[in-house]
Every structure is written in C-alpha cells, then in structure tokens.
Amino acid sequence: MNSKKNVRKVLILLVIAILLTSINGFAIMDVSSDIRAAVVGDAATGEVFYQFNGDETVEIASVTKIMTYLLAREAIAEGRASFDDVVKVTRNAATTEGSALGLTEGDEYVLETLMNAIMIASGNDAAVAIAEHIAGTEAAFIQAMHDKATQLGITTAHFINPSGMPLDDEETDQNFMSANDLFKLSAYLLNKYPDVTDITIQKEFTMPERNFKRFATNPLLNEMEGVDGLKTGYTDKAGLCLVSTIPYRDQEDSMKDRRVIAVLMGAQSHDDRIAKSKELLEYGYYNYFIEKVVNAEELVDEILISNALEVNVPVIAGEDYYKLLKNGTTLRTVIEYQQKIRAPLEKGAVVGKMNVYLNNEIIKEIPVQVSEDIKKAGFLTIVFRYLANLLGI
C-alpha cells in the first residue's frame, strides 16, 4: 500500500498574478469604431486575444503580398528558385499599376531584391515579376496562392493577382480574406521564416543600381519601439490596412519569448490606423505572457511506498511546462497516483500524473516520477516494520 491515503492530491499550483503595472496594460479592449475588422493574438500558439469582425471577408489590398512573399520563400526552400536568381521584368509586370517601383520591360534584378521590395516598399510590379519568375505565369502563381491557402486551412481567400491591386471596383476584382485568416497566414510566415523581420524592420528600400530609394510603408516602424513588421495595404474599398507585429524577449528564459501579431483592416485615416494598431499590439504585449508553470525535476510531493527500503519517497515533475496566460489567471493541479506502487523502482519511473487545470478543464498532463532509485526492503525489515506499526513503536 502506498501511503497518502488519497490517490488524488489537489494542489493550488500558482496564481499567475504577475500583474504588470505598466500604464500600457488594458483591462478592456475595443477598437471597433470606424474599421472593418481587427484581430490580435500570439504567433506561436495561434491564440486570439481579441477580435472584431474577425471572420468577415474583407478586401486586403497589398497585404496580399504576405502570401506572395511566402510562396517565393517556399520556392527557394524547395530548390525551385534561389535568392540570387536573376529575374527579367516582362511587359506584364512593368505595366502593373498602383504602388510600383517603376520597373521597365527587360530590366533584370536579383530575386531577393524584388522580394525585399514588396515587403518594405510594396512594389506591385515587383510582386508580378516575382510571380512570373516562380510559377512561369501570373495565372499559375495565382492558382498556387489559392492552393497554399487551402493547405493552411484558410477558407476565405480569393486572389486575382499577387499584388492586391484591384482591377476595378467590382467585388469580383479584388483580393479578399478575413482578418482571422490573415492572422493565420501571418503567423505561419513568421513561424516558418522568422528572418522575414530582418527585412520588414527596415525603414527604407534602396536599389543602388537605379539610384532608387523609397521609405517603408509601415508607419509603426517610426511610431512604436520594437515593432519589426509586417505589411501594409490600401485601396479605396479596403481602406487603410496593417498587419503589425512585435516580439517579446525574456531576459532570463528564452522559452518565455513570444510574438504578438495584430491585424487591422479598413481604418479611415492614417492616424487611426496607427493608433489602433498600437493599441492592439500593446494589449497583446502587456496583458499576456508565458509562464513556466512546472519545472522539470522539481519536487512536487512525497509518497509512502510500504515495501521500499526508505518508505518516504520524493516525487518530481517529469517535464517543464510553459503556458501562455492572461494576467491574473489562476491554475491548479491535481496529482493522480497509480493504484499500486511497489518497490523496486528505477529513477524516473512514472508513478502518476499531474493534471493542470484552467477553468476546470485539463489543459496538460505531466508525468510524476520518482526522483531516485527505490530499493525494495528486505524480508526482515518488512516484518520489523509491520510489528512496529502493530505495537505502535
């Protein structure tokens, strides 16, 4: 018989109440006025902290180029292209309207330069040149955009080109996606190719061979410290759009690092796009954090194993557990032991599990293990122990 008479042991593990005292913390979030949609959440887990009209399909304008850049990166990763490829500008690319770099037919540029151009300066002609180089034709690239959206579980995507430039004001001649799906797409890109922010943090794009310079379209790079991406967009129907992102880096534990992504669609003014994007990012940055809930090899309990040489046996958590939480969240744990635990046991042998609860729901099961080799008591020791207990010695 193993001791602690109750097989279940309830522990209030911790009250995660590291309430950040920054004035930037928000108790209530609402940016719904005069916009089309908004979402803010965590890049790694995909958890959404706040949304407004997140599932409504809206025009996405040049935010489209997140998908264009992603497909170019994947083509490079798969060996179908190289950053150093020379891209020849076609007439179709050169005549692309809207936010363009002024590329001319027959120009040749390195693929990496054009990829940087679409993310920093939002060059429509560069986006078409990339598409034709990767897929052979713009039409084939558009099909690849839809295929990738399907692969990612994005259900609201509709693409007519790789740039986001509308052909006219008809609803069928725009690129569309919901804010939630844009969040999903952006998180996928940032998780798979985190070095994209080495590009999107840049405040200007230059092409020395043309003596060309253009400032980055992302206004938050100059308005909020730490922001390092991601993509802007604007058309008359889409309004002013911005997918922005900021990393949080813990100085003591890199496992607590995280990244906030905010999607703002359809703002009516530049100032409003900036203010509400900042509010979204600050909400995610200051009100959520990653906490180390359980430390591996941390002593969590002591159990009695009646046939062990040393009957009081320390047990430990079998693994680290980190969890993204909102400020003030309370977690509790319940340790459940196996019905029969008998010596001998090797160090690390599992004797139960620790269930971590959030709002009465189990969110994690962690093995509970003995912390050392447990030897079996000899026959005489067991007899003496029995007699001592019987006599109350």
Residue 113 to residue 118: CA distance in whole angstroms = 9
> What integer pLDDT is reported at residue 21 of this predicted model?
36
For 318-328, what is each residue's pLDDT tens digit?
999 999 999 98
Predicted local confidence at residue 170, as pLDDT:
62
Burial 111-125 (b: 16+ CB within 10 A, else e): bbbbbbbbbbbbbbb
Q: What is the mean pLDDT of residues 189-209?
A: 97
Please state the rounded mean pLDDT for residues 276-281.
Answer: 98
Average pLDDT, the chain: 91
Banded model confidence at residue 389, pLDDT cuts 50, 70, 90? confident
CB 343 within 8 A of CB 308: yes
- pLDDT at position 16 is 41
Q: What pLDDT, in 10s, does the model give residues 217-265?
A: 999 999 999 999 999 999 999 999 999 999 999 999 999 999 999 999 9
Q: What pTM was computed for the model?
A: 0.90
Phi-psi category of residue 164: left, alpha or beta, with phi > 0 → left and psi -120 to 50 → alpha:
left
Within the chain, residue ranges assigned H as helices are 65-77, 91-94, 111-120, 124-135, 138-151, 179-192, 197-200, 270-287, 379-391
Residue 273 token pair? 């796009």
Model pLDDT for residues 85-119, shown as the tens digit of each residue: 999 999 999 999 999 999 999 999 999 999 999 99
* pLDDT (tens digit per residue) in 124-158: 999 999 999 999 999 999 999 999 999 999 999 99
Domains defined for the chain, CATH in brackets? 8-16+293-391 (2.60.410.10), 54-177+189-231 (3.40.710.10)
User: Rounded to the nearest 5°, which phi and psi values hold at 354?
Assistant: -105, 115
Q: Looking at the predicted structure, is the pLDDT value of residue 204 above 50?
A: yes
Average pLDDT over residues 71-83: 98
How much is the average pLDDT of 334-359? 96
